[in-house]
Amino acid sequence: MNLELNPLLADTAHPPFSDIAPEHIRPAIEHLVQQCREVVDATAKVEQHTWATLVTPLEEADDKLNKAWAPVSHMNAVVNSDALRETHDSCLPLLSDYGTYVGQHEGLYQAYKAYAESAEFKQLSAAQQRVITETLKDFRLSGVALPAEKKKRYGEIQSRLSDLSSLFSNQLLDATHAWHCHITDEQRLSGLPESARIAAANAAKERGVEGWVFTLDIPSYLPVMMYADDSALREEMYRAFVTRASELGPNAGEFDNTKIIEETLALRQELAELLEFENYAELSLANKMAESPAQVMSFLNDLAERSVPQAQRERAELEAFAQSLGHKELAAWDIAYFSEKLKQEAYEVSDEMLRPYFPEHSVIEGLFTVTEKLFGVSFTERDDVDVWHKDARYFDVLDENKQVIAGFYLDLYARGKKRGGAWMADHAVRRRTQQGIQKPIAYLTCNFNSPQGDQPALFTHDEVVTLFHEFGHGLHHMLTQMDIASISGINGVPWDAVELPSQFLENWCWEEEALAFISKHHESGEALPEALLEKMLAARNFQSAMQMVRQLEFSLFDMAIHMDKAARAPGQVQAILNKVREKVAVVIPPEFNRFQHSFGHIFAGGYAAGYYSYKWAEVLSADAFSRFEEEGIFNQETGRAFLDAILSAGGSQDIVELFRKFRGRDPEIGALLRHSGIQTA
């Protein structure tokens, strides 16, 4: 294939998505990886380095590779196909081997060591010095000091872990889309809101069948669990959902992730021992804020101690309520249904009552207004940028002088062949080049309901919060002022602090002053009525302790399996999860529940021995927001202070120092407990 015509090698600001075909991918990645290796070798041979001869060439080579791989990785997640998946997965060993090659390159390591001891190093800025010292730490964690045989084994493990991560994700995606529930009896739809019925009818039409079709995508699954009066329908959906990618359920064994989980844990433990850590949790924390697994466990157990009693009271209240309606025992598929009924009775509010007030256009405009008021940036949609699907959009980010400083793609709706969940990923990072500043570009992806007929997409308030969360990540990436790739945006930020900006931005979804322009009825244009707003705010912390202990369950489970060397043994993962549940869960799922088989965060994402990061960073984000509560939620000086201290700084300084710069003190847990509705006596 002629590489000159390969769209992944085109020197363009935006990927030419329409031109990218599976056959372009491997030749482009092979070519760029080879180029990168040559640059690494040449750089290592230079005798006396300057910043320009050591850091710059490596950054430029990696940037080209990253900008070719980013659209491939993104398309694999949002417009998956067999051919795309096959070639994407075939490149993973190439990328993993290259990462190991760099991390274990003795010549390059020695070059960095020598540079760190040179006279020029002392003249560098604090941010540049941090880049060098952090790179040296990465070398050590990549096994650069290992003997040859162990280095080889390290590379083999990393390559296999990369394969397993992709396999886990692929099987979860396939399992999710392999099952659907087809209904022809309208009586079975009793209780379901109109929006869910319309979406199910459209799903049936797409499949060429009569009636209604429900899938395991969240926008289809959740309304059934919350509103369907038919207990048998809820049970059928629940069983299919919680047994995805396991040895049980309607597709039992077909996409089973059991062996992948066990092999992943075994290899992670072996990797940790190679690098002389006691367990993988210790290795994971080597680059995080938290100092040790014991500190993390203490943090999580402390939160559990504060939350479990309240969660037990909330569970008892739910059981009493269900019994008052003649329902003696709560099954797992009854929890969301009766919780929603209790919430409606207690607060006279529901997601469906709020949905008409959150049409897509108003929510996006409101999000932009909040951001502009806080940080002085604005947004313009463009129609001349190529996208991968008709529903995807592209926006420029403009500074106060109306100069374009960044851009992002937005892909909001759930669909077949698209990975579930919501995330931010980067296409390009801000960095200084010979031509000037490279603008950062982000991908922002969600899985919400799409427009139905003539009606715009109407979001639940939870979905609005999710959008703000991902946009917070996007702002961290796009508003950075760092010019070095490795500390630009979220790069170089410890994983347990990376959720700070995302969780921080969620707060505006609950503020009356912000909701005035985030919400607007899709037909009348009226703002969210005061009475409904008050009910929504009153219901904010409904069952908040139950939600807290559920997150703690996930976090404790994640830490436990990565601290226990025996977790790799058959059946042990389930046994460990059961133990964690005995300690903190107030809702014990049925024996057939296989939650771990779809826990992509830790088996196919970056959260292994790091899921606690959500709660850890929430301490930071809640405390940061409390300054806005004190000084005004749209106080421009406070907004600019957050921009300067946190968003602009990327990974240039220790996050605790950045937090102190903004808050004037160390973080405190009180704001998290208050925002989470956890009563502290």
Q: Look up 348 and say whether it is catalytic.
A: no
354/348 Cα distance (integer angstroms): 11
Q: How far apart are CA 275 and CA 267, in angstroms?
A: 12
Give residues with Cβ within 8 angstroms of 424, minimum separation 6: 442, 443, 444, 445, 470, 471, 473, 474, 477, 502
H helix intervals, 243-292: 258-274, 280-285
Q: Cβ-count burial of 517 within 10 angstroms (0-12 exposed, 13-18 middle, 19+ buried)?
A: middle
Angle between helices 335-347 and 218-227 (to 10 degrees): 70
The whole-angstrom separation of Cα 186 and Cα 197 is 10
Phi, psi dihedral angles at 275 (to 5 degrees): -90, 10
DSSP 15-63: --GGG--HHHHHHHHHHHHHHHHHHHHHHHH-SS--HHHHHHHHHHHHH
Choice among 470, 499, 553, 618 that is catalytic: 470
Q: Which residues of 311-350 are buried (b: 16+ CB within 10 A; e: fewer)?
A: beebbeebeebbeeeeeeebebbbbbbbbbbbbbeebebb
Candidates 135, 137, 134, 140; CA nearest to 154 is 140
CA distance 148 to 150: 6
Nearest to 244 by CA among 233, 254, 234, 229: 254
Tokens representing residue 584 in the block: 């903190």
All residues at 6 or more sequence positions from 269 whose CB lies less than 8 Å from its CB, including other chains: 279, 280, 565, 567, 568
- Token pair 């969240």 is found at 218
What is the C-alpha to C-alpha distance for residues 385 and 17, in angstroms, rounded to an integer?
Answer: 9
- Catalytic residue annotation: 470
